[in-house]
Amino acid sequence: MEKFIIRGGRPLRGEVTISGAKNAAVAIIPAAILADGPCRIENVPDVSDVRILVQMLEEMGAVVNYADSNTLEIDPRSIDTCVVPSELGRMMRGSYYFIGALLSKYRRAIAPLPGGCDFGVRPIDQHLKGFEALGCSYNVQENAQIEVSAEELRGASIYLDMVTVGATMNIMLAAVKARGLTVIENAAREPHIVDLANFLNTMGANIIGAGTDTIKIRGVQRLKGVTYSVIPDQIEAGTYMAAAVATGGDILVKNVTPKHLESITAKLEEMGARVDEYDDSVRVYRYGPLRKCNVKTMPHPGFPTDMQPQIAVLLSIANGTSIINENVWENRYRYVEELNKLGAKIIVNGRIAVVEGVPELKGGPVKAVDLRAGAAMIIAGLVARGTTSIEDIHFIERGYENIVGKLAALGADIYRQQKPGRYNSNVG
């Protein structure tokens, strides 16, 4: 079994370059099928979720070429099916964006019910509510496939019952070529929503209001192939920022949009770190002790749920007791059991976690129970005394490009153990 092995105690120092945003790329790649010519997508993170999407596109008949490891050329003109490959589709949550895109293209999509990290129930009722409003009907088949279709897609007003990133983007995709005007209210405002809208608008769509809670989409007849560059990954940046603060380091995080990091920066500063913002980079450092603070996860521009496990590691070694309130997912504390194995003192009650700061963590064997939980285990390993080994690293590799190489370049003592007894030092 492959593992990350970390010997803790080294402050991170130096520079790290952030990759493109995974959660933007997983929507933009399916959106490329709407073009009537090839698209070139740059700054795509080289992570396993993206590679799965590429395989899905190829199985559907598209011609996909990696110009380099971060640039995809997608020619969708040879796609000849509205069926999403089910085995691959089940491996990741983001595969549901093919439903919106295929509806736009063919007014019909057959797709597996989505997989992804396990944080309790992950319904898609709001996606379906949006598709129905646009004129679709759907049925769930016995083999856990869903079929959605419409005679014609017509613009509609859709009020989302809760703020959801996935439904906002999927409805945007389905509506982009629908007849007339679609209005999504109570829309999510994450940077990747704006990125998807910018990509579609570059292709010729007519979308305004992305980044606010009301998005207006006027259907257009055709979308053209374009060149587009994905925004930097807010959560990858936040993860390195948290790792620098945890280890008492001093790093420059490059290729970021500081505005997207504000909620993370604010919390790190509250805990005693310093963050200096430049045009497209931030310097993060800490010299004094870590202070307790309370964290409530919220949709953007609130503190992101995808940074909750990483920040919990910082709180677990801060002075005093902190409270975390997880407002987005009903069960995103499965990592707590693992972190407590390293000496953290965290008690979970429903959506609340009480984190009592301890003087230090002690290395040991742990598991990555999901993507961000795995990132948290890495940060814990970097600060813990002794050696930490992390199993199930495939979760981490879903969303972090070359994490071992990037951390090693910052001075971390980390390597990927390929098989028991053999390893490739510093290979991500």
Q: Which residues are catalytic?
A: 117
Q: For residue 139, list its beta bridge partners.
A: 147
Cβ proximity to ligand EPU, 91 vs 293, nearer residue: 91
User: Which helix (DSSP H) or strand (DSSP E) does residue 315 occupy?
Assistant: helix 308-316
Distance CA(231)–CA(305), nearest Å, equals 19
CA angle 414, 417, 421 (to 5 degrees): 125
Shortest Å distance, C-beta 124 to ligand EPU: 5
Q: For residue 15, list its beta bridge partners.
A: 252
Residues 304-323 that bind ligand EPU (CB under 6 A): 305-306
Residues 59-118 that bind ligand EPU (CB under 6 A): 93-94, 117
* Residue 125 in the binding site for ligand EPU (CB under 6 A): yes
* Residue 375 in the binding site for ligand EPU (CB under 6 A): no
Specify whether the backbone of 39 is left (phi greater than 0), alpha (psi in -120 to 50) or beta.
beta
Buried b (16+ CB within 10 A) or exposed e, 206-244: ebebbbeeebbbbbbeebebbebbbbbbbbbbbbbbbbb
* Residue 48 in the binding site for ligand EPU (CB under 6 A): no
Shortest Å distance, C-beta 211 to ligand EPU: 15
* Residue 350 in the binding site for ligand EPU (CB under 6 A): no
Shortest Å distance, C-beta 306 to ligand EPU: 5
Single-letter code of the amino acid located at 46: D
**From candidates 122, 179, 291, 385, binder to ligand EPU by CB under 6 A:** 122
* Residue 166 in the binding site for ligand EPU (CB under 6 A): yes
Start-to-end CA distance of the chain, whole Å, equals 15
Shortest Å distance, C-beta 190 to ligand EPU: 6
Shortest Å distance, C-beta 37 to ligand EPU: 27
Q: At what angle are helices 97-106 and 125-133 packed, to 10 degrees?
A: 10
3 state DSSP class of 44? coil
Shortest Å distance, C-beta 94 to ligand EPU: 4
3 state DSSP class of 201? helix
**For ligand EPU, which stretch binds (CB under 6 A), given 10-18, 163-171, 220-228, 400-408?**
163-171
Cβ proximity to ligand EPU, 199 vs 285, nearer residue: 199
**Which residue bears the tokens 């790649």?**
29
In this structure, what DSSP letter does residue 137 have? Answer: E
* Residue 369 in the binding site for ligand EPU (CB under 6 A): no
Cβ proximity to ligand EPU, 116 vs 357, nearer residue: 116
Shortest Å distance, C-beta 424 to ligand EPU: 26
* Residue 123 in the binding site for ligand EPU (CB under 6 A): yes
Q: For residue 63, list its beta bridge partners.
A: 75
**For ligand EPU, which stretch binds (CB under 6 A), given 122-130, 214-222, 286-294, 415-423?**
122-130
Distance CA(175)–CA(8), nearest Å, equals 49
Residues that contact ligand EPU, how many (by CB under 6 A): 24
Residues 191-220 that bind ligand EPU (CB under 6 A): none
Distance CA(152)–CA(107), nearest Å, equals 7
Quote the tokens at residue 143. 């083999």
Quote the tokens at residue 218. 């006027």
Distance CA(171)–CA(173), nearest Å, equals 5
**Other CB atoms within 10 A of residue 117 CB:** 20
* Residue 379 in the binding site for ligand EPU (CB under 6 A): no
* Residue 250 in the binding site for ligand EPU (CB under 6 A): no
Closest residue (Cβ) to ligand EPU? 166
Binding residues for ligand EPU, per CB under 6 A? 23, 26, 93-94, 117, 122-127, 162, 164-167, 188, 305-306, 328-329, 371-372, 399
